[in-house]
Amino acid sequence: MAKYASGANAQLLIQKEDTWGVKPSTPKMLKMTNIVAGESLGVTIESKQSNAITGKRGIQEVRNGMETVSGQLSGEVSASSIKLLIDLYGTLGEYVQTTEAGGLFKKVFTRKSEIPSFYLEKNFPDVDVFTQQFGLLYNTTTIAADADGDISITNEYIGKSHAVQDSATEESITDINEFMTGIDVDLLSEAGVASCYSNINFSITNDLDPRRCLGPATITSAAVKKGSVSGSVTLTFSNMSFYDKWLDEEETTIRFRLKRKLNTVEFMFPRVRISGSENLLPVIDSDGIITVTYPFLSLTKSGYGSNGSDIVVTVISDVDFDSFLSAV
């Protein structure tokens, strides 16, 4: 009887690389249980066909061309997913850990220039096959929260190469935390402005530039250009405070905090400018609800990390992050 792969048994495992594009020699894979809610891991190989004049109708020959490794992982926001976002995904990475009362650990993360790469496996134990992707670098991370209680995190990446193997036997560790929802929002504030927020979303972009050279089918490097943090907030209209800050070119601070039992995650944009590329006036929908959406751009502020940062993430949990990092 033929065997078929079941998505219920499939596993995703991840590990940081010591050398870009090379599988770590010592497996310490992290099983992404309760972290990934959806994925689209892709490999594209161009088809190059011969255009020779042969005197016959039809294509005479086809060869494989350039290979592109890319994909997207989406998940639920939890302390686990934030750890992956910060360290493995390389969006942030520079951090200071201190011990809090009650045996909790506090970690403050800021932006760093180095972006680590990682190795990813998708394991199909039903058919003894697993796919491998090497040299993965995260390009954009987006987090969104809305008034319906949904919070999502989406990560898009590019990679160097791929392979397909039989009989995966990698050792793995599992780190599970309860996911957070919009009802766990403890604080969403902006200095001097009090309002009802119905939506916030922001993207952390590394702005990677894949480089190709003559010869190899895969990319040979990925240049790190100037990254950015941008997003938008939607408010139930009550005042023009944000509008005034945009018009007067004033800077402000936005905080977004989640709390679930022992785990707290706070995102802070220490130096925000409201950008004027969209309509900043109140909008009335067919139900009579009046809202206003303000796009923002987060600028680098000194005093956060060694080189300043445009985003600061503070995580308080019962997980010793130093031990966690040494494990993966």
Residues 90-123: pLDDT tens digits? 566 666 777 777 778 887 878 776 788 888 888 8
Mean pLDDT in residue range 309-318: 82
Instruction: Tell me: pLDDT of 35 over 60.
Output: yes
Mean pLDDT of the chain: 78
The pLDDT tens digits for 12-31 are 888 888 899 998 887 777 77
Q: What is the 3-state secondary structure (H, E, C) of the chain?
A: CCCCCCCCCCEEEEEECCCCCCCCCCCCEEECCCCEEEEEEEEEEEEEECCCCCCCCCCCCEEEEEEEEEEEEEEECEHHHHHHHHHHCCCCCEEEEEECHHHCEEEEEECCCCCCCEEEEEEECCCCEEEEEEEEEEEEEEEEEECCCCEEEEEEEEECEEEEEECCCCCEEECCCCECCHHHEEEEEECCECCEEEEEEEEEECCEEEECCCCCCCCCEEEECCCEEEEEEEEECCCCHHHHHHHCCCCEEEEEEEEECCEEEEEEEEEEEECCCCCCCCEECCCCCEEEEEEEEECCECCCCCCCECCEEEEEECCCHHHHHHHC
Mean pLDDT in residue range 312-322: 75
- What pLDDT shows up at residue 134? 92
- What pLDDT shows up at residue 91? 62
- What pLDDT shows up at residue 233? 84
Mean pLDDT in residue range 294-304: 88
- What pLDDT shows up at residue 328? 46
- What pLDDT shows up at residue 1? 53
Cα–Cα dist 100/221, whole Å: 41
The pLDDT tens digits for 127-152 are 788 888 999 888 888 888 887 878 88
Instruction: Tell me: pLDDT of 190 over 60.
Output: no
User: How far is CA 308 from each of CA 126, 163, 311, rounded to the nearest angstrom?
Assistant: 48, 39, 9
Question: Which residues neighbour 231 within 8 Å (Cβ) at sequence distance 6 or greater?
Answer: 200, 201, 202, 203, 295, 296, 298
The pLDDT tens digits for 207-250 are 888 888 888 888 888 877 778 889 888 877 777 777 777 778 88
Lowest pLDDT segment from 49-63, 92-106, 264-278: 92-106
Q: What is the reported pTM?
A: 0.78
Question: Which residues neighbour 85 within 8 Å (Cβ) at sequence distance 6 or greater?
Answer: 91, 92, 141, 153, 155
The pLDDT tens digits for 145-171 are 887 878 888 888 899 999 888 765 555
Cα–Cα dist 243/246, whole Å: 5
